[in-house]
Amino acid sequence: MKTTMLHIFRNSPLGRENLMQSAYFCKQQPGMSLVVYVPQTARFTMNPGGELVVVELDESYVRYPSTARQHVEELLAEFDCPFEFHTPSKHDKSHMPHLPGHWTMMACPRVITEHSSRLGLGHLGPKVRSLAKLSNFPIFIPSMSFKAWTNVTAFFGGSKLGAIVVKASLAIARLARVPLTVHTQLNGITREDCEKSLSAVGILDTLSDGDIQWRVCDEGTLDENLYAVSHDSLVLVGAAGHKLIRELVFGSKLEAIQSTLPNPLVILGPECRIPWDLLPEGGA
């Protein structure tokens, strides 16, 4: 199975930083290629999990179309990253450009419908939340500026999705040949509960490997303990629950993490499936 990351290119300084991070991610994952969509219109459709979604971009995405492809090619030449441009078809009913939903991952800024001046920590746009809620692939959210990550941090709170996050983090760290830290905040759960979840997906014994640290915090708050997350870490976190992402606001783990950490994030929603290619050897 071919692994690909879809990147919607914005021809701007911020778009440059985001593209560099997508290219670096692919470079760290041997076998993953980048698929770049240079939008010609501010609206398009896609089916990230089988459900048709209309994505409305900020107008900055369709500015300066004459230099967009040249800028992409120049930037990606520096990373020696395999890539291709995606030319969308048109959806039969909407007649808008249509992107399929067969990607391994999708790169997405924190906000895709508001002006770039509103981008920043603590503001995760509603369209981004919706995509993460519906997508059967992880959503990669770059940080504000490019910085190479040299380790991976997974947030795990004992849930089934959290165990899948750890499994995905393990796969990414192994492919990138970097250390992995699993961060667990014991709020209303026990370490034994967490071990059962990890055992259910077959990776409990793997956490004893030398390049993996399981940091279990039974004191302090999550906000306090976020300081321990490395500044050069790629962070993975799950987003689930009955109210899903749109209602996960003040006090939730996802909201605290995305509003506090400046690191690049990978979000796995409730419908997310880890591609077989990214699973550790023997995984399922």
- Enumerate the domain spans of the chain: 3-141, 151-268
Q: Which of 26, 29, 30 is nearest to 5 (CA)?
A: 26
Residue 100's pLDDT is 84
Q: Which two tokens stand for residue 186?
A: 């014991």
User: Residue 46 and residue 121: Cα distance in Å, rounded?
Assistant: 26
Closest CA to 3 of 175, 160, 133, 163: 175
We find that the CATH architecture of domain 3-141 is: 3-Layer(aba) Sandwich (3.40)
Question: What is the DSSP-derived secondary structure letter of residue 77?
Answer: H
Contact between 268 and 135 under an 8 Å Cβ cutoff? The reply is: no
CA torsion through residues 58, 54, 132, 126, sign: positive
pLDDT tens, the chain, 284 aa long? 578 999 999 999 989 999 999 999 999 999 899 999 999 888 888 887 777 778 888 788 888 999 999 999 999 999 988 999 999 887 767 788 998 888 899 998 765 443 333 333 333 344 566 677 778 889 899 988 999 999 999 999 888 888 999 999 999 999 999 999 999 988 778 899 999 999 988 888 888 777 899 999 888 777 788 888 899 999 999 876 544 333 333 236 766 676 778 899 998 888 888 765 666 554 44
**Among candidate residues 105, 203, 221, the one with its CA nearest the CA of residue 154:** 203
**Cα–Cα distance measured from residue 214 to residue 168, given in angstroms and rounded to the nearest whole number:** 15
**Cα distance between residue 69 and residue 132, in whole Å:** 27
Q: State how far Cα 96 lies from the chain centre.
A: 26
Per CATH, the number for 151-268 is 3.40.50.620
Query: Same fold for the domain at 3-141 and the one at 151-268?
Result: yes
- Whole-angstrom Cα distance, residue 108 to residue 268? 13
- Please say whether the beta carbons of 140 and 109 come within 8 A: no
Strands 32-37 and 43-46: unpaired
Q: What pLDDT, on the 0 to 100 scale, is given for residue 42? A: 85
Q: What is the pLDDT of residue 71?
A: 96
